[in-house]
Amino acid sequence: MTLRLYDTRSRAKRKFRTLVEGEVGIYVCGITPYSPSHIGHARQAIAFDIIVRWLRNSGYKVNYITNFTDIDDKIISIANDEKVHFLEVANRNIDDYFEVMDLLNVLPADAYPRVTETIPEIISMISRLIVSENAYASSDGVYFEINSAPEKYGQLTGQTLEMVQEGAGGRVTETGSGKKNHRDFALWKFAKEGEPYWDSPWGKGRPGWHIECSAMSLEYLGEKFDIHGGGSDLIFPHHEAEIFQSECCLNHEPVVQYWIHNGMINVDGEKMSKSLGNFWTIRDAISKVHPLELRYCLINAPYRQPVEFNDVMLEDSSSHYRRLISAYGEGLSLCEKKPWENSEFLKSTSTNFSNGMNDDFNTRVAIVEVQSVVKYLKEKIDENNSEEISASVSWLSYHAGSILGLLPNDESIIDEINQKNAAKSAISDIVNDLLKQRTIARDNKNWQRADEIRSELNEMGVIVEDSPDGPIWRIK
RNA sequence: GCAUGGGUGGCAGAGUAGCUAUGCAGCGGACUGCAAAUCCGCGGACCUGGGUGCAAAUCCCGGCCUGUGCUCCA
């Protein structure tokens, strides 16, 4: 089955064909680092991380670019409040971003361009748009003129210029002071008193929001590239603006072959947002659960669907994750990994997994297959079938680990097992002694005493389970 | 209002025409002094009204509900 992906512009799943055989250029709009990253950022980063992992494992050479908008009104305002340089605010949040992404097992992109390091390219692009008469300078900045290319309007949203002219329920009527038309958007904003600025042919100022992505994608991926991604809330106006800028500047279309957009995070059925107060930072979430449990939660729905996020979902994912990791760890400690292609069962689950991923990166289908292999592995562990244990472990290592990124590296899993074993042996004498007492109590049908000992052990962090062959214990 | 998605069992969430999705939860059973774990089994769904088909959750038309966008936003 060949890869098909949903293209926002065509509003349909399309067969994936790259501009250059075997190579993929992908640009994803990144964050504006004015505050610590939230789980929406995590959702997006993980979604595209998995997309890139899948493309690479499908044999493509991928060039994955995602940017930082390290100058904007909010950053400036926070910097002013704190009386620090605006880059201090941006850098501290970018550091936070990299730290949490690493915890979430998000592999680094190939480049992280920043607006403040792309100013010459942005200026050059604006100049070209002025020359081609798609843009004009005015009293407070340089604007893109929508009426210079009206046919490009609504390529992603399906709205026509006429429709929007009706007015968005009367709300979008305000025309920026220097704009000819209220739908024109800023390419360059002149600096007001006390704002950071760069020199330009039109005056001191800074780039508008949209032009950076056109400039950076051009710089890193060229005049045409395969995939442009971002959150679905960027479709309008940001990505439509990019289409105007890039296509008018480069004078060809389409610049982007496939537009893909991830869905938002919902809390109580509504989009997570600061104004609603239903806001989770990544650090909030990983203070409650392991980062990979959060990752599991965020790929439980296919990337285009909204993810319903709350404590229940999070706990649900935690238990799924623990099931996965404990079976995998146990298998890993029992045998070496061996190829799984000889197992009929694993071969067919692998096919299902691939079909799911090839169908617009359906991680939900992929997870179902992972769950079924976890179940299979547990069975094989019970049966002591080392061939199938080895094969299942390596199946999981590839599918759940390399592709979905849900497994820590093997060393740390083994480490953790060893630590637990060490902790276990440190207290085994005392535990065994107590268990012996408990067994005597049970033989005498002294249930009260037996339960006392069990809860005593429980307080020590030891879980006792009575099996037909006598009591089994483990550390919580 | 306009645009664009979606409405599947208690929850999450696959499935675009015919065959058990799956997981969690629930129920019943095995095993248990009890509990836990494990195993076996079970039930339960396709918003609504029409239409096309031998056959529709799946295609077509209408209605209702709902998310998102139209303003900074991943």
Estimate in Å the CA A216 to C1' B71 gap, whole number: 25
Residue A55 sits at the vertex; the CA angle it makes with A49 and A56, to the nearest 5 degrees, is 90
Same domain, A19 and A69: yes
* Residue A229 forms part of a structural domain: yes
Is residue A370 packed enough to be buried (19+ CB in 10 Å), middle (13-18) or exposed (0-12)? buried
Closest CA to A331 of A295, A376, A300: A376
Q: How many CA atoms lie within 13 A of A227 on its CB side?
A: 28
Is residue A8 located within the same domain as residue A114?
A: yes
- For the domain that residue A346 is a member of, what is the CATH number? 1.10.730
Asked if residue A232 and residue A149 are part of one domain, the reply reads yes
Nucleotide nearest the Cα atom of A320 (by C1') = B23
Alpha carbon distances (Å) from A217 to A64, A296, A318, A328, A381: 10, 30, 37, 40, 50
Which of A360, A300, A253 minimizes the C-alpha distance to A12? A360
Q: Do A389 and A282 have their domain in common?
A: yes
Q: Before A201, cis peptide (omega within 30)?
A: no
A 280-339, residues with C-beta < 7 Å of strand B: 300-302, 304-308, 312-313, 316, 319-320
* Residue A414 placed within a domain: no
The residue whose two tokens read 């679905």 is A232
Structural domain containing residue A384:
270-408
CA dist A104 and A292 (Å) reads 6
Checking each nucleotide's C1' against the CA of A451, the nearest proves to be: B34
A316 CA vs B23 C1’ separation (Å): 9
The number of domains in chain A is 3
A13-CA/B60-C1' distance, Å: 21
Query: Which chain B positions come under 7 Å from a protein C-beta?
Result: 1-5, 11-15, 21-24, 31-39, 66-74
The β-bridge partners of A144 are A135, A185
CA of A399 to C1' of B53 (A): 41
Rounded CA separation A423/A376 (Å): 29
Average of pLDDT values for A243-264? 95
* Pair A444, A309 in one domain: no
Closest residue (CA to C1') to nucleotide B37 in the complex = A465
The reported pLDDT for the residue numbered A176 is 53
ipTM of the complex: 0.92
DSSP state of A281: B
In a domain, A402, yes or no: yes
Q: Is residue A117 in some structural domain?
A: yes
Q: Is the pLDDT of residue A13 over 60?
A: yes
A377 vs A468: CA distance, rounded Å: 23
CA neighbours closer than 13 Å in the CB half-sphere of residue A328: 28
Angle between helices A211-221 and A119-131 (to 10 degrees): 110
Joined tokens for residue A163:
């429709």
Domain end, chosen from A262, A283, A306, is at A262
Query: Coil, strand, or helix at residue A365?
Result: helix
Stated length of chain A: 476
Contact A196, A53 (CB under 8 A): no
CATH number at residue A76: 3.40.50.620
Reported as a single tens digit per residue, the pLDDT across A301-326 is: 999 998 888 888 888 898 889 889 98
Q: How confident is the model at residue A402 (pLDDT cuts 50, 70, 90)?
A: very high
pLDDT at A430: 92
Nucleotide nearest A441 (Cα, C1'):
B33
Q: Are A305 and A283 part of one and the same domain?
A: yes
What CA–CA distance (Å, rounded) separates A323 from A330? 11
Other residues' Cβ atoms within 10 Å of the Cβ of residue A346: 23
Write out pLDDT tens, residues A51-91.
999 999 999 999 999 999 999 999 999 999 999 999 999 99
Helix then strand count (H, E) for chain A reads 15, 15
Whether the bond between A254 and the residue before it is cis, its omega within 30 degrees of 0, is yes
Is A416 a member of any domain?
Answer: no
Please determine, for residue A42, whether its predicted confidence score (pLDDT) is greater than 90. yes
**A66 and A30 in a common domain:** yes
Residue A351 CB neighbour total at 10 angstroms: 12
Q: Is residue A119 part of a domain?
A: yes
* Alpha-carbon gap, residue A136 to A347, rounded angstroms: 60
Residue among A403, A451, A352 nearest A52 (CA): A403
Residues A276 and A256 in one domain: no
Domain ends where: A262, A286, A302?
A262
Last residue of a domain, one of A240, A262, A284: A262
Is A89 among the domain residues?
yes
Q: pLDDT digit string (tens) for A141-168?
A: 999 999 999 889 889 988 877 766 544 4
Q: Is residue A324 part of a domain?
A: yes
Pair A62, A209 in one domain: yes
Distance of C1' in B44 from CA in A378, Å: 28
Q: Verify that A300 and A380 share a domain, yes or no.
A: yes
Rg of chain A in Å (alpha carbons): 28
Query: Backbone phi, then psi, for A159, in 5-degree steps?
Result: -90, 145
- Residues A282 and A37: beta-carbon distance below 8 Å: yes
Whether residue A32 is found in the same domain as residue A97? yes
Assess whether pLDDT exceeds 60 at residue A170: no
Quote the mean pLDDT of chain A. Answer: 91
Same domain, A462 and A373: no
Report residue A118: phi and psi, to 5°.
Answer: -125, 15
Integer Cα distance of A92 and A113 in angstroms: 16
The 3-state DSSP class for residue A160 equals coil
